[in-house]
Every structure is written in C-alpha cells, then in structure tokens.
Amino acid sequence: MIRECDSAEVVVIGAGILGLLSGLMLAREGLQVVLVEQGKAGSEASWAGGGIVSPLYPWRYSTAVTALAHWSQDFYPQLGERLLAETGIDPQVHVTGLYWLDLEDEAEALAWARKFDRPLRPVSMEAVHAAVPPLGAGFSSAIFMANVANVRNPRLLQALRASLERMPNVRLIEQCEVTGFLREGERIVGVESSQGALRGENVVVTAGAWSGNLLAGLGLELPVKPMKGQMILFKCAEDFLPSMVMAKGRYAIPRRDGHILVGSTLEDVGFDKVPTEDALESLQASAYELLPALQEATVLKHWAGLRPGSPDGIPYIGAVAGAEGLWLNCGHFRNGLVLAPASCRLLTDLMQKREPLIDPEPYRPRLSARSA
C-alpha cells in the first residue's frame, strides 16, 4: 500500500520490461525509485512476446529503430550474465541465428546488411535443410543471420524483479492502478492511484499499451494503442530445432529445453486479449508449414498479449514539453524487448543530464493537445 506522504525521486508507471529495466538503471545511479504496476509485474506484453533479440524484419525499420536495436543486441549477453550472477535466475540469452525464408524484399535486406555491416547472407535451401532438418519442404530461398539471439522473456522479467528487490532504494507496488497525475502549475509532482497519492520529483511512463490513456488525462494526444498478438507453445526434444526460422510473417523460436514458440498474430481489437480459436488454427497452420513434425506435438499453451502500437514503431523516449518532471519510455510496438536496454539507457542518460548514448532527437515526445 502507498503510505500517506509517500515520495520518491523517480516514480515509474508500469513494470514490464521497460519499467523494470528503467527502474534498475535509475536505481543503479543511486536514485530512490518506486515502480507502480496496475497488475503483476512483468505479466503483460513483455511476458507474452517471443523474445527474439531483433526486429522481425530489421531492414524495414527506420534508422531510429536500428540504432536502438544494434546497441541492445550487443548489450544483451552481458545483461544476462550480470542478472544470473546477481539473482541466480538465468534469462537464457540463446544465440541460435535466424533464417528468413522466401522473402519478397531479399535484395533490400542484403543491401541493409551491407550498409550496417550486419552478418546477413544468402544460403542455399540445401544448406538450410542440412542445418534445420525439421524444416518443411515448400520453401525456395533463404537468408541467414548467425548472431541473432532469443531471450526467455519470463525469466528475464523474473531476474530483473529479483535484482530490483535486492536494492534498498527501490520499491515495487503491484495491483495499483495509476488514475491521474499530481500537478503543481506546469510541473508533474507525482501520481494519483487506487492506493492513494504518491509524490515524485520525476514521473516516468512505461505503461505499454495503456500509456496513451494515461497521457489523455493531461489533455495530451499520445498515439499509442493496443495491438493484440497471439502465440502458441509446443514441447519437443531439446535438439529438435537448432535455429529460429521465419516465413510469411510467422516464426518459430527454440528454447534450450525444447519448447518451441510459434507466433504471432497482429490484431487491432482494442484491449481485448482473449485467445481465439481462429488465431489458434492460423498459428497451427503456420507451425505445420514451417515444421511439419509439430503435427505430432501437443500445443501446450495458447495466449495473447497487447503490444503498444505506435506510428512506424518508433518509441517515445524523453521529457514531455509543458509538463516538467514527466518522462516517457513507451510505444515500442513489436520491439519492446529488443529495444529495451538502449531505450532505458537513453532515458537514464537524459534524466541524468549527460551525453546520451545515441542522438535522442528521433524519440523526443512531440505531443499535441487532445481534441475536445
């Protein structure tokens, strides 16, 4: 519960990957941090995603997304090692490489790789079938990037939470819905919540798909909305699938213990996150086309999450003009986990008024007033 006159140097709204990692980086700077989560920490989109440490089609994104992705990809191995050492929980940063099959824009992908010096190359289908024996027979071309990893996102979230809980300058308040902001003149000085008021010298919105609703309470238009995604999970032998594979917008991701994730849908249906039979059938069809042997495997789980959809997938990171003390780190769309380390480091740099790791201008919040 929030105690009367509670206050902190930083109040973080939302405890998904962006909130937990923002809180951790800010706390490591010595700041007093309180994280406020409307449900259970790490239980929304960050938990529901596949955990590929790359945008699905990185060459189709702007250089703003690419800059965050490349820094984060390089950072993930050391993040995983540090969290394991600190908490005993292994996020399983698992480098498998990724095969893209039958791309219509293969030439653009290879040109992007040359431009950014990424190890993406064409491979023969004979080589692909030799490397990935369970792959289906209906594909004609492939490109491969060897250094792409996936992370077991539920374990990453558990490790981040455990690391935060070890820090005396961090407090996590769950089952606590933020209902508005405390304001003194042009400055945001805290939040109103279902458990009472909480004052903060700075407030950071990392509320995923709910971020736009929060900013609406200040009369600001933040074009972030929920985009539903559904996935399914199979259990196979540990060595069943040695690499990630992707075709026609669907992917299969191997975990170290043999679990295979297949995803995902992209649905504009508001805040509905109920799994549907139509999506299950569509995902199964994609799974069986990619990996026919999965027809003999059982679907262990089928779930849905809500991505924070934003224009062009470029997140909002930085201070909000006209609302001093209010900061955003949200709107990462399909790439929240991929971009989280660089996004949270950039936010921390800006809040600490030091040279940022990359140019912050593409992510600067430019919010308009909501129309009546």
Q: What is the mean pLDDT of residues 307-317?
A: 95
Q: What is the mean pLDDT of residues 235-246?
A: 95
Quote the pLDDT of residue 296. Answer: 95
Is the domain spanning 7-46+156-224+312-369 CATH 3.40.50.970? The answer is no
Query: 90-128: per-residue pLDDT in tens?
Result: 999 999 999 999 999 999 999 999 999 999 999 999 999
Q: Of all residues in the chain, what percent carry a pLDDT higher than 90?
A: 96
Query: 292-302: per-residue pLDDT in tens?
Result: 999 999 999 99
Closest Cα partner for 290 from 234, 328, 216, 343?
A: 234
Cα–Cα distance measured from residue 297 to residue 206, given in angstroms and rounded to the nearest whole number:
37
Query: 330-351: per-residue pLDDT in tens?
Result: 999 999 999 999 999 999 999 9
Quote the pLDDT of residue 356. Answer: 97
Q: What is the mean pLDDT of residues 50-55?
A: 95
Q: What is the mean pLDDT of residues 37-59?
A: 95
Going from N- to C-terminal start, the domains of the chain cover: 7-46+156-224+312-369
* Residue 224 or residue 6, greater confidence: 224
Q: Is the pLDDT of residue 357 over 90?
A: yes
Task: Look at 2-11, 15-24, 185-194 and tell me which has the smallest mean pLDDT.
Answer: 2-11
Q: Give CA separation, 108 vs 52, 103, 142, in Å.
A: 21, 10, 14
173's tokens: 């308040």
Q: Is the pLDDT of residue 241 over 50?
A: yes
Rounded to the nearest integer, the mean pLDDT of the chain is: 95
Q: What is the mean pLDDT of residues 233-257?
A: 95
Residue indicated by tokens 């498998």: 96
Q: What is the mean pLDDT of residues 191-216?
A: 96
Q: Is the pLDDT of residue 3 over 90?
A: no
Quote the pLDDT of residue 193. Answer: 95
Cα–Cα distance measured from residue 255 to residue 163, given in angstroms and rounded to the nearest whole number:
23
80's tokens: 């995983």
Band (pLDDT 50/70/90 cuts) for residue 6 is low
DSSP state string for 127-177 = HHHHHSTT--S----EEEETT-EE--HHHHHHHHHHHHHT-TTEEEE-S--
With the C-alpha atoms ordered 130, 131, 135, 139, is the resulting torsion angle positive or negative? Answer: negative
Cα–Cα distance measured from residue 234 to residue 198, given in angstroms and rounded to the nearest whole number:
43
One-letter amino acid for residue 52 of the chain: I
Q: What is the mean pLDDT of residues 58-76?
A: 96
Q: What is the mean pLDDT of residues 156-171?
A: 97
Residue 334 in contact with residue 307, Cβ under 8 Å?
A: yes
Using DSSP's 3-state secondary structure scheme, residue 351 falls into helix
> Beta 250-254 vs 259-263: how paired, if at all?
antiparallel
- Cα-trace Rg, the chain: 21
Cα–Cα distance measured from residue 48 to residue 205, given in angstroms and rounded to the nearest whole number:
20
238's tokens: 């540990």
Q: Is the pLDDT of residue 235 over 70?
A: yes
Band (pLDDT 50/70/90 cuts) for residue 8 is confident
Quote the pLDDT of residue 4. Answer: 47
The model's pTM: 0.95
Quote the pLDDT of residue 367. Answer: 86
Helix (H) or strand (E) holding 278: helix 277-290
Q: Give CA separation, 222 vs 12, 63, 65, 171, 354, in Å.
A: 18, 22, 18, 27, 26
Q: Is the pLDDT of residue 208 over 90?
A: yes
Q: Is the pLDDT of residue 372 over 70?
A: no
| Residue 283 per-residue DSSP state | H
Band (pLDDT 50/70/90 cuts) for residue 369 is confident
Quote the pLDDT of residue 1. Answer: 55
Q: What is the mean pLDDT of residues 189-209?
A: 96
